[in-house]
Amino acid sequence: MAMGEASAAATMPAMSVSTHTAEAQSWSMTLRSVGTVEPIRGVVLETETAGIVDVINFKNGQRVEAGDLLIQLDIQVEEAQRKAAVATARLAEVEFERAERLRKSGNVPQSDLDQAIANLDKTKADVENIQAVIDRKTIRAPFSGRLGIRQINLGQYVSSGAPLISIQSNDQVYVNFTLPQQALPDLSEGLTISLTSDAFPDREFEGTLTAISPQVNPQTRAVELQGTLDNPDDILRAGLFVKILVQLPKSEDVVIVPKTAVVYAPYGNSLFVIEERDGALVATQKFIRTGRSRGDYIDIVKGLNAGEDVVSAGTFKLFNGAPVSIHNEMRAEPELSPKPDNS
């Protein structure tokens, strides 16, 4: 009997916790997805005709300008043929000029002039044909960009269609991604998009939604989208996996608390609100419904009002009605856009 009375008289010590005040904010509506970076222009250069690699005029990874000579296949035979064709064309031109003078004086029939014209045209076509073969064996940069790693060696014989080197133009890049068909009413060209990547955890890249596919994929019920971003530092590379945030033009009112304040459980999520009872502070458990999260914060859709103080650290040791003492001196400050050190 005495032990029971002593137990009832005993008071539980207050548990040390940290708190935050639930805030009312207006969050812009966003849509999240993942995608892949693609170059505005990017190709793998291939040979149009077979030949032996005679000149490699670049270094791997080098930046080149449009029209720069990259690879020259052996053209000794074609050069000799071109010289002979040029000489033949010059002779045909002389014969044409002579036939033209003689025809004007009436010393040769019209058929001789016609034959001279035909010979001149044929010899010029022969020169152009040989020059076209030389041009096909001369590989130049089709646009300004950065080269990849060559797939050939000096003196190597390459067959027609063999891959030589890739070139990418990365001053601007595309990002291709998809969203569920339910997002279509909110989408329009010109919306702002932002990108993040595990490769550059401390950077955020901004661009514009520039293309929306006119059809929905019947297998996935998703719509294909494309954004365009400036990439002056050449940081974003083709094939890079990125996380995408599409900024919608509308916003919604939210009540937010730090994510650490929420206690997740199979029977329902909850948090602890600080209340005063009989001059003491106690933690009262409230069941809630959560919404979107952003950074270190989460939206409480139902069960909490702005201005209420919630326990953000120390929830694991609490129960409904537990006495608490608040110590916020060393609490971690949550952020909407946290940028943790890359450790």
The residue that leads in pLDDT, 147 or 341, is 147
DSSP 232: T
Burial of 64 (0-12, 13-18, 19+ CB in 10 A): buried
pTM (predicted TM-score): 0.65
CATH H-level, domain 30-41+169-251: superfamily: Efflux pump adaptor protein, beta barrel domain (2.40.30.170)
Where in the chain do CATH 2.40.30.170 domains reside?
A: 30-41+169-251
> Average pLDDT of 172-182?
94
Q: Which class is domain 14-26+253-326?
A: mainly beta
pLDDT tens-digit map of 104-120: 888 878 888 889 899 99
pLDDT at 130: 94
The percent of residues in the chain predicted with pLDDT above 70, rounded, is 95
pLDDT at 220: 92
Q: Which class is domain 76-136?
A: mainly alpha
Q: CA-CA distance, 145 to 44, in Å (whole number)?
A: 12
Where in the chain do CATH 2.40.420.20 domains reside?
A: 14-26+253-326
The percent of residues in the chain predicted with pLDDT above 90, rounded, is 60
pLDDT at 143: 92
Residue 2, pLDDT > 50, answer no
pLDDT at 1: 42
Confidence at 151, pLDDT banded by 50, 70, 90? very high
Give the list of residues 6+ apart from residue 81 with CB closer than 8 angstroms, or none. Answer: 130
Q: CA-CA distance, 291 to 124, in Å (whole number)?
A: 75
User: Which 3 state secondary structure label does DSSP give 336?
Assistant: coil
Residue 8, pLDDT > 80, answer no
pLDDT at 11: 65
pLDDT at 110: 87
pLDDT tens-digit map of 39-94: 998 899 999 999 999 999 999 999 999 999 999 999 999 999 999 999 999 999 99
Confidence at 212, pLDDT banded by 50, 70, 90? very high
CB 284 within 8 A of CB 275: yes
Q: CA-CA distance, 145 to 115, in Å (whole number)?
A: 49
Q: CA-CA distance, 158 to 65, in Å (whole number)?
A: 25
Confidence at 4, pLDDT banded by 50, 70, 90? very low
Q: CA-CA distance, 31 to 177, in Å (whole number)?
A: 12
CB 263 within 8 A of CB 270: yes
Nearest residue to 243 via CA among 204, 209, 197 = 197
Confidence at 7, pLDDT banded by 50, 70, 90? very low
User: Which 3 state secondary structure label does DSSP give 300?
Assistant: strand
